[in-house]
């Protein structure tokens, strides 16, 4: 374990990715339907997957775990092949993409949009190592790729065709070509207050393509197949307990103490890179504890453990290295609970048809991405986190009408919309919890630096205000020193004048004589 602990962060995360993907591959061999593993994988590849579509029903348990493992290995191969400097963003992209291997991404539909990103890099002469994250995030539109490949513009599945292949390549290249620019500008809109930054440009792209390919052209959206009834609660729970429990055990063997992990949970700073700041062992402990925390919640509310719910448990874990932990996610869960109680009560009082309890599939998926709003709870307080989650609950079931069910990042897109609506109010009426996160210098003034490794993740407005205050402080010091300089200059002029006067007095006396 000492050798693992001494590894560089990049190598450690690469090993973590490899072991993580291998867990799914090994599990596939132990599934009760392992005999149909490869035929089931073909069914997954050759079937539409408009969200939410559970691969448990489409291809079976073994095929689903096999697909998830293969998708994870493909992501790892991209990181290693293009020599990417793996970090916290890589962790988010890897886990997020792998998690959708149970309900939207497969080893076929993930490639066309990646081809578009490669083309973007080639035309703009950018290194592909810097675009691998964009490649993985582009798979958030994988359901649309399968739709075009297998049945567009028909309402029923017609299978692979030349027209479908051409449409897939054109749209895939369009997605990949324009997405990198959107990813770069997304933080300027949500100001760093949602951890799923890629969801905004992916959601907007899905919105545009849904309008262009279906609404404007007059084609009806295909109906969503009923695939959510097949559940496997025992298998899902056992797998998650083994995976998350292994992370906890290894973290302990690497030297992670309860005190070290409590520091992460109770730290009032906003840290965006756990493995770099707290250490690899603490990050691994967070994977295990946060994973069990998520699993416990979904068991508590009675969630149906189909392929979608299973993928969501893994998906919610994606931010475990970039800002989320049980200490700042519980306000989000509380906000969802409050919204559920208030909405249900209001619906009952006025005779409505309430269809979104906490264990409904849409709300289960919504909470996964609502956890990306945890920076609001971090920076403004838990009450504001509850409010953000409340708004997310109200919006998340309506947003699919915009993208037609072709965006896997629906909840993340909703989180960005919540930020756009809520942040102006928070900035005007609430205060950031910043003073306790700043270090005081010896003279009692704040030095204007976050202790965290990534201060650039503050919202631009707050960065500007923060930098302005620091600038004002230094400007005050400059004025003070300038005043001292003028004072010394005045003294020097006085001395020089006195010296000249003393020299001129003898000359005047000689002239008088």
Burial 344-382 (b: 16+ CB within 10 A, else e): eeeeeeeeeeeebebebbbbbbbbbbbbbbbbbbbbbbb
| pLDDT single digits (tens) 342-357 | 999 999 999 988 988 9
134-170 pLDDT, tens digit per residue, is 999 999 999 999 999 999 888 787 888 999 999 999 9
pLDDT of residue 1: 64
> Are 297 and 413 contained in the same domain?
yes
Q: Residue 243: its pLDDT value, please?
A: 97
Q: Are residues 365 and 464 in the same domain?
A: no
For helices 326-349 and 280-300, angle between their N-to-C axes, nearest 10 degrees? 20
Return d(Cα 336, Cα 24) in angstroms, integer: 30
Q: Are residues 39 and 150 in the same domain?
A: yes
Residue-level length of the chain = 513
Low-confidence ranges of the chain (pLDDT < 50): 435-482, 485-486, 488-489, 492-493, 495-496, 499-500, 503-504, 506-508, 510-513
* Domain assignment present for 78: yes
Residue 400 exposed, middle or buried by CB count within 10 Å (0-12, 13-18, 19+): buried
Query: The tokens of 228 are what?
Result: 């959510």
Number of folded domains that form the chain: 2
Evaluate whether residue 437 is within a structural domain: no
CA distance 63 to 21: 14
Q: What 8-state DSSP symbol labels residue 438?
A: E
Question: What pLDDT shows up at residue 468?
Answer: 42
**Lookup: tokens for 196:** 């799923």
65, 25 in Cβ contact below 8 A?
A: yes
- Of 403, 427, 451, at which residue does a domain stop? 427
Examine residue 445 and state whether it is found in any structural domain, yes or no.
no
- Kind plus residue range of the DSSP H or E element containing 375: helix 374-380
In a domain, 507, yes or no: no
H, E, C per residue of 280-338: HHHHHHHHHHHHHHHHHHHHHCCCCCCHHHHHHHHHHHHHHHCCCCHHHHHHHHHHHHH
Percentage of the chain beyond pLDDT 90 is 63
Residue 452 in domain: no
Statement to judge: residues 355 and 474 lie in one domain: no
Residue 72 has which token pair? 């994870």
Segment 155-165, tens digit of pLDDT? 787 888 999 99
My answer on whether 280 and 388 are in the same domain is yes
The answer to whether residue 501 is domain-embedded is: no
Indicate if 294 and 375 belong to the same structural domain: yes
Nearest residue to 109 (alpha-carbon basis) of 181, 51, 38, 30 = 51
Enclosing domain of residue 226: 2-427
pLDDT at position 85 is: 92
Q: How far is the C-alpha of 94 from the C-alpha of 217, rounded, in Å?
A: 35
Residue 105 lies in a domain: yes
Does residue 54 form part of some domain?
yes
My answer on whether 339 and 478 are in the same domain is no
């Amino acid at each position: 374990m000492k050798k693992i602990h001494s590894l560089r962060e990049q190598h450690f995360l690469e090993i973590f990715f490899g072991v993580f993907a291998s867990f799914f591959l090994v599990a596939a061999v132990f599934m009760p339907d392992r005999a149909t593993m490869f035929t089931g994988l073909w069914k997954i590849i050759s079937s539409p997957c408009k969200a939410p579509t559970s691969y448990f029903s489409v291809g079976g348990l073994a095929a689903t775990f096999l697909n998830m493992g293969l998708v994870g290995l493909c992501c790892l191969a991209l990181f290693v092949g293009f020599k990417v400097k793996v970090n916290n963003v890589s962790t988010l992209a890897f886990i997020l993409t792998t998690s959708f291997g149970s309900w939207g991404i497969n080893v076929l539909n993930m490639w066309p949009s990646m081809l578009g990103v490669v083309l973007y890099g080639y035309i703009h002469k950018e290194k592909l190592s810097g675009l691998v994250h964009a490649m993985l995030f582009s798979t958030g539109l994988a359901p649309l790729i399968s739709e075009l490949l297998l049945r567009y513009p028909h309402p029923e599945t017609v299978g692979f065709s030349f027209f479908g292949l051409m449409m897939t390549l054109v749209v895939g290249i369009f997605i990949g070509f324009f997405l990198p620019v959107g990813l770069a500008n997304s933080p300027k809109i949500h100001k760093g207050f949602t951890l799923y930054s890629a969801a905004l440009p992916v959601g907007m792209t899905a919105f545009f393509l849904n309008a262009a390919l279906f609404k404007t052209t007059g084609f009806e959206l295909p109906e969503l197949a009923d695939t959510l009834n097949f559940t496997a609660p025992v298998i899902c729970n056992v797998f998650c307990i083994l995976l998350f429990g292994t992370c906890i055990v290894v973290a302990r063997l690497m030297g992670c103490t309860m005190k070290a992990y409590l520091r992460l949970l109770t730290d009032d700073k906003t840290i965006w890179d756990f493995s770099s700041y707290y250490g690899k062992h603490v990050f691994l402990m967070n994977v295990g504890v946060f994973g069990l925390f998520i699993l416990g919640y979904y068991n508590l509310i009675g969630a149906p453990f189909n392929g979608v719910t299973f993928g969501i448990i893994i998906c919610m874990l994606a931010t475990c290295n970039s800002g989320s932990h049980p200490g700042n996610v519980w306000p989000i869960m509380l906000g969802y609970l409050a919204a559920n109680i208030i909405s249900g009560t209001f619906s009952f009082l006025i005779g409505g048809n309430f269809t979104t309890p906490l264990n409904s599939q849409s709300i289960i998926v919504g909470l996964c991405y609502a956890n990306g709003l945890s920076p609001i709870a971090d920076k403004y307080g838990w009450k504001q986190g509850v409010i953000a989650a409340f708004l997310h609950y109200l919006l998340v079931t309506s947003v699919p009408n915009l993208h037609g069910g072709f965006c896997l990042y629906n909840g993340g897109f909703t989180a960005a919309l919540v930020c756009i609506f809520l942040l102006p109010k928070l900035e005007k009426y609430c205060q950031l919890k910043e003073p306790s996160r700043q270090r005081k210098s010896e003279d009692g003034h704040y030095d204007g630096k976050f202790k965290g490794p990534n201060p650039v993740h503050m919202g631009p407005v707050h960065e500007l205000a923060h930098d302005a205050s620091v600038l004002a402080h230094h400007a005050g010091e400059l004025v003070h020193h300038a005043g001292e300089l003028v004072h010394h200059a005045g003294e020097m002029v006085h001395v020089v004048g006195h010296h000249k006067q003393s020299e001129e007095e003898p000359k005047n006396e000689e002239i008088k004589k």
